[in-house]
Amino acid sequence: MTLHLHAGFPKTATTSIQRLFEKHNAALRAQGLCYPLIDGDFKQRYLKEFDHSQFQTADKQAALDKKMADLTHAIEAAGCDDAVLSCEELMSFTTALHRRPNLERLRDALRAIDPDIHLVIYVRNPVDFFLSIAQERVKRSGQLFDPAGFSPNFAAKIALFEEIFETRATVREMNREKLEGGDIVADFLKACGLDRIDISGWEPVSANESLPAEVLFVLEMSRQPLTAGAPVPNVPPKQAEFFWRRIRDLAQQHQIGTKPLLYRNIRDQVLESSAQDIEAMQTRYGITFASGKCAEADGPDETVPTLSKVERLMAVDREIAMGLWAAATQGLARQFLSERERRKAAAS
């Protein structure tokens, strides 16, 4: 058997692959491909726990051991020629530690299942990658990266995995124009040498859609402290998830849906800071990135006042953004008052 480890990177349509593999799990298994769903986790997030193993409590380690035992049993019970494990968090830009002992423990745990491990990794144009990561950061924490100091370090991270797993990775670029048939699943199966798998009739899924610049403006504004110099408010993940989805839905209701574009000078800063990585990807893996799409204009300089850091990265229609901000705050105020009245009525 061959164990195909799909190790990221994030923002390369990984979720689309994972959701379709979950949906068509039985059909895949009938064709000799096992995609194990341990406790229904189609993203196989438990694999990322190896990267934080030095912080594991006894209870967490026991839970991880149980997951791996269940994984081993599921793969053995399936009796397939191939198995796929897909966990983009192994290459998370913001949370992965990439410490050698951690990855060696992951390697050894997977080799205990089967020593034949094939690494499959997708990368993305650094400009598009920066924009996608920036959106995720604004959605979750309101923080932004400095484009002049940004580099995805694709080549170095891939090289570390190759060294530890003692194999050469199959590296592909997530670019619709370069994918097999323009389809990420077909391309992934080809990268794994699994062309025999019939996916005809599968309807594609779309995940992690891009948010308009005006939505990002509102989300970043909502995280600004009330007084200058105060720390950025810490918002629990569930509240952050609720809020960004609410703003996105409001934007859709008002037909605000233009995809954001980085200013030209911001695009150039990302390309410059990523130059060494771009060269390494071309030299080692033959992947040549395009310059990346951008707005025709440069962004404002530091002398121009802005309300949000987002306005320094991409063009924002401030009138639309402020209207969206007003609609969001009014809606939340109405919801708060309605909930207060409901509680009063329930208490009386």
Helix, strand, coil percentages in the chain from 3-state DSSP, rounded to 5: 55, 5, 40
Residue of 119, 99, 133 whose CA lies nearest to 2:
119
pLDDT band, very low/low/confident/very high, at 207 (cuts 50, 70, 90): low
Inform me whether the pLDDT recorded for 230 exceeds 80: no
pLDDT for residue 208: 66
Number of CB atoms found within 10 A of residue 336's CB: 10
Phi-psi group of 13: left, alpha or beta (phi > 0 → left; psi -120 to 50 → alpha; rest → beta): left
**Residue scoring higher pLDDT (139 or 232):** 139
Lowest mean pLDDT among 49-63, 156-170, 264-278, 279-293: 49-63
Residue type, 97: L
Q: DSSP assignment of 187-198, as one string?
A: HHHHHTT-TTS-
Q: Write out pLDDT tens, residues 318-335.
A: 999 999 999 888 877 787
- What is the distance between the alpha carbons of residues 60 and 69, in angstroms, rounded to a whole number? 14
pLDDT band, very low/low/confident/very high, at 94 (cuts 50, 70, 90): confident
pLDDT band, very low/low/confident/very high, at 236 (cuts 50, 70, 90): confident
Residue 62 to residues 37, 41, 49, 65, 100: CA-CA distances in angstroms?
Answer: 19, 18, 12, 5, 22
- What is the distance between the alpha carbons of residues 110 and 299, in angstroms, rounded to a whole number? 47
- What is the distance between the alpha carbons of residues 287 and 124, in angstroms, rounded to a whole number? 10
Element of type H or E holding 344: helix 318-347
- What is the distance between the alpha carbons of residues 218 and 220, in angstroms, rounded to a whole number? 6
Inform me whether the pLDDT recorded for 120 exceeds 70: yes
Furthest-apart CA atoms within the chain: distance in Å: 72
pLDDT for residue 185: 97
Mean pLDDT of 293-305: 92
pLDDT for residue 56: 80
Inform me whether the pLDDT recorded for 44 exceeds 90: yes
- What is the distance between the alpha carbons of residues 203 and 206, in angstroms, rounded to a whole number? 10
Element of type H or E holding 135: helix 126-140
